Amino acid sequence: MGSTGVSVYTPGQVVEETGFSLDTLRYYERIGLLEPIGRNAAGQRRFTQQDVGWLGMLRCLRGTGMPIAEMLRFAELTRAGDHTVRERIELLEAHDRRVEEQVDHLREQQVAIRNKINYYHSVVG
Amino acid sequence: MGSTGVSVYTPGQVVEETGFSLDTLRYYERIGLLEPIGRNAAGQRRFTQQDVGWLGMLRCLRGTGMPIAEMLRFAELTRAGDHTVRERIELLEAHDRRVEEQVDHLREQQVAIRNKINYYHSVVG
DNA sequence: CTGCAGCCTGGAGTTCACTCCAGGTCAAGC
DNA sequence: GCTTGACCTGGAGTGAACTCCAGGCTGCAG
C-alpha cells in the first residue's frame, strides 16, 4: 500500500474513474443517490473505495436507461439494510428484463434500417 | 379495394398505426420532419400511404435513438432527390454502427447487473 | 337540433437530467 | 506574496423532445 492506508479519491480522480462529470457527482449527492461524501479539513470531498464502487453500479444502471427516480429507490433500499435484498433483486430483475427488451427492440429496428440501406444500395447500384 | 380508391388516414388512424401521439405528429410536421400534410375541406389532416410509410421510418430512427436534428437532415436529403442517396446511405450506416455500439454496451452492462443479481441471490440464499 | 368526439391553431408548459455560473476558499509552486 | 488550479456553495439555466392548453370548428348519432 502507498502512503495512505485507505484509498481515498479526490473529486477529480472520481471523475476520471467513473466518467461522471464533477457536476453530476455533486448533483447525485444532492438528490441522495450518494450518501453524504466525506470531507477533508478544507471541506473538499474525499471519496472512499466504497463510494467509487457504488458509483460504478450507478453508472451501470444509468447507462442501461434506468431513470434517476428508480435509482433513488434502489439507493434507499440499499441504505435500508439487508432486509431489503429481496426487493433489490426484484428491482434489478425487472430492470434486466427491460434491458433485454431494449436490446430486442434495437435489433428489430436495426433490421429495418439495414433493409433501407440495402434498398438504397440497390438504387445507386 | 374499399369505397376510396386511394388509402388516406385520419390523424386518429395514424396515431393508431404509428404509435406517435397526435401532438407529436403535429410537432413533426411543424419542424419539417414531415412535409406539409394534405387537408380535407374542413382543414383536417389526411395522411397518405406514403406519409404513413415515412412515419414508419421515422419511428425506426427515433426508436433507435437518432436525435431529431439528424432525422431532420435525413428528411431534407430525402426531399432533395435522388442525388442524395449516397449521403443517406452514409447517414444510415453511421447510425447503424451507433445502434450496434448501443447493443454491445447494453449487453456488457447487463452482465454487470446480472452479476449483482446473482450476488444478491447468494446473500439471501 | 343538440351534443359530443375528433380535429384545428399558436403558444405556453413540462420533464428529465444534467450543466453552468458567480463568487469564494485553500494548497502549492515560483 | 502572488498566482494558479482544484474545489466549494446555492441557485439559475439549458436542451431535447415532447405535451398541454384555451378557444374554436365540423360532422354525425340520437
pLDDT digits (tens, 9 = 90+) for A96-106: 999 999 999 99
Per-residue pLDDT tens digits for B92-123: 999 999 999 999 999 999 999 999 999 999 99
Q: Which residues, 6 or more positions from B93, have their beta carbon under 8 angstroms from its beta carbon?
A: A117
User: Å from B18 (CA) to C15 (C1')?
Assistant: 23
Strand D nucleotides, any atom under 7 Å from protein beta carbons: they are 6-9, 16-21, 25-27
Q: Is A109 in CB contact (< 8 Å) with chain B?
A: yes
What was the pLDDT predicted at A3?
A: 43
Unique residue bearing C-alpha cell 500500500: A1
Instruction: Provide the pLDDT for residue B4.
Output: 46
Report the candidate in B67, B51, B24, B53 with the shortest Cα–Cα distance to residue A116: B53
Give yes or no for CB of B36 within 7 Å of strand C. Answer: no
Q: Tell me what pLDDT residue B1 has.
A: 42
Whole-angstrom distance, CA of residue B27 vs CA of residue B17? 17
Contact A63 B109 (CB under 8 A): yes
The predicted pLDDT at position A2 comes to: 41
- pLDDT the model gives residue A77: 98
Does position A33 have pLDDT exceeding 60, yes or no? yes
The reply to whether B12 Cβ lies less than 7 angstroms from strand D is no
The residue assigned the cell 477533508 is: A40
Instruction: Judge whether residue B25 has pLDDT over 90.
Output: yes
Q: How far is the CA of B22 from the C1' of D21 (A)?
A: 15
Local confidence band at A63 (pLDDT 50, 70, 90 cut-offs): very high
Element (H, E) at A37: none
B48-95 residue pLDDT tens:
999 999 999 999 999 999 999 999 999 999 999 999 999 999 999 999
Rounded, the Å distance between the CA of B12 and C1' of D24 is 20
Q: What is the pLDDT of residue B124?
A: 87
Residue-wise pLDDT tens digits, A75-90: 999 999 999 999 999 9
The CA distance from A70 to B118, in Å, is 20
Residue A4 has pLDDT above 80, yes or no: no
Distance B29 CA to C3 C1' (A): 31
Per-residue confidence (pLDDT) for residue A7, from 0 to 100? 85
| Measured distance CA(B34)–CA(B83) in Å, rounded | 20
CB contact under 8 A, B92 and A120: yes
Q: Residue A109: closest CA among chain B residues belongs to which residue?
A: B60
Listed in sequence order, the DSSP H helices in chain A are: 11-18, 22-31, 49-63, 68-80, 85-124
Q: In this complex, which residue's CA is closest to the C1' atom of nucleotide C25?
A: A42
d(CA A36, CA A47): 10
Smallest Cα distance from B78 to chain A, Å: 11
Contacts of B58 by beta carbon, 8 Å cutoff, 6+ apart: B20, B28, B33, B71
Q: Do A89 and B57 touch (CB under 8 A)?
A: no
- Other beta carbons within 10 Å of B97: 10
Residue B32 in this model has a pLDDT that exceeds 90: yes
Kindly give the pairing relationship between strand B8-9 and strand B47-48.
antiparallel
Write the CA distances from B18 to A27, A41, A116, integer angstroms.
37, 58, 18
Q: Is the pLDDT reported for residue A20 higher than 80?
A: yes
Q: Does residue B74 belong to the interface with chain A, where contact is any CB pair within 8 Å? A: no
Facing B96 at nearest CB: one of A82, A88, A117 = A117
- Judged against a pLDDT cut of 60, whether residue A124 lies above it is answered with yes
**Average per-residue pLDDT for chain A:** 94
Find the length of chain B: 125
